[in-house]
Amino acid sequence: MLTVDEIRKDLLDIRYYYTRKSVFDNSGIANQITEKVKRYNAAVRTAEPRLFDLYVCLYIKNQTQEGAASELCWSTVYVQKLHTRLVLFFHAQLNKEGGAA
């Protein structure tokens, strides 16, 4: 079972993956991070639109919470609250689907 702290760490790894995506993709080697990215991307497809949008901004586009708030015309406080919901969404979704395996 994944803990909330493990999910937060995974999300940092996913952010790093997307900042260095070309290096990972051009290596031709499937590794732990590419599998993790696939698992989280599959899970987020079932999220409500605001959580999906936030995931894209924060982790795929590598924006800060302030940058995401600006792009989405939301307050930073709202982004912080949604981010907490996003982490809890992943916690529920990945543990339900056996994502810890």
DSSP secondary structure, 4-28, as one string: HHHHHHHHHHHHHHHHTHHHHHHHT
What is this structure's pTM?
A: 0.88
Query: For the chain, what percent of residues have pLDDT higher than 70?
Result: 94
Average pLDDT of the segment spanning 15-22: 92
Rounded to an integer, the average pLDDT of 43-50 is: 97
pLDDT on residue 98: 61
| 37-55 average pLDDT score | 97
| Alpha-carbon span 45 to 37, nearest angstrom | 12
Residues 53 and 63: their CA atoms lie apart, in Å, by 12
> Which tens digits make up the pLDDT trace of 26-39?
887 767 888 999 99
CB distance 51 to 79 below 8 Å: no
Query: Helices 76-96 and 65-72 meet at what angle, rounded to 10?
Result: 110
